A and B are shown apart, each in its own frame.
Chain A
Amino acid sequence: MDLSAGNASGDASNDAPGKVAGHGKAAADDKRGLSSDLQGHIGRQLRAAFDEVAREPIPDRFLQLLKDLEESGSKK
């Protein structure tokens, strides 16, 4: 789960300078629980799941409902 573990077992030859810095940051964040990379991943997934629905067209039933409510004042 922690990226630093992945880095350690991964190809050290692949390590770019930026990655080393990221590694240090992740280790620091571990004191608070999650690596910042995993937090970022969760944040992106969360927004992706939310936005996927938010981008869908509004179902007609809701627009119709508002129209009905408007005509009758209130319903139900």
Chain B
Amino acid sequence: MNQKVSASLKDALVGEMSNLRAFAVSLCGDKERADDLVQETLYKAWNHLDSFREGTNLKAWLFTILRNTYFSERRKRRREVEDADGTYAAKLSTQPEQHGHMDLQDFREALAELPDDQREALILVGAAGFSYEEAAEISDCAIGTIKSRVNRARNRLGESLGASGEEFDKGLASALASAGPGGR
């Protein structure tokens, strides 16, 4: 079907792969599943490259395919297993990612406990570098919806990290004291 994919488009595809993987891992919290998602996304992208207009935002296009794949699988799974959320959360808490630094581990777990839509919005805006507008297009919702999801996600993360975060407060206070007032 797409025998003649331009070399530059293929290079661009390869160039976005690392970001796409990082998005998948952050979104689903499970590296193996994330790589399956990326694989599926690449298949779909390749087979629909004719619907991609070269010169437009390839990264956003790929992220859209990946998140649509993820969410449709989640919906399917939810129909199959009634407490999909419960089993998913349990799986995450018993099988933490092994590759991470320990100081990121708590954060990853807190992130995994967010509702899907909030986690997605936070990653898109806070880590993947998309504007609110781009994130809204990727998630197919209004900009205001993205903003409120990001806010709710932040507040929730703040609660779960802050609740166990007396150490963090102390560490941060001393870091701030040594860094001086120049910061943000």
Contacts and interface: CB of A to CB of B under 8 A. Distances in A.
B96 to A, nearest CB: 12
A43 B101 contact: no
Nearest to A54: B22
B158 interface: yes
A37 B175 CA distance: 11
Contacts of B173: 3, 6-7, 10, 19
Contact of A1 (B3, B154, B158, B183): B158
Given A22-B176, A33-B158, A56 B104 contact: no
Contacts, number: 147
B127 A6 contact: no
Interface in B154-184: 154-155, 157-159, 161-163, 165-166, 168-170, 172-173, 176-177, 180-184
Contacts of A2: 162
Interface string B107-122: 1100100000000001
Interface string A46-76: 1111111111101101110110011001111
Interface of B: 1-3, 5, 10, 13-14, 17-19, 21-23, 25-26, 35, 38-39, 42-43, 46-47, 99-101, 104, 107-108, 111, 122-123, 126-128, 151, 154-155, 157-159, 161-163, 165-166, 168-170, 172-173, 176-177, 180-184
Interface of A: 1-3, 5-7, 10, 14, 16-19, 21-22, 33-34, 36-43, 45-56, 58-59, 61-63, 65-66, 69-70, 73-76
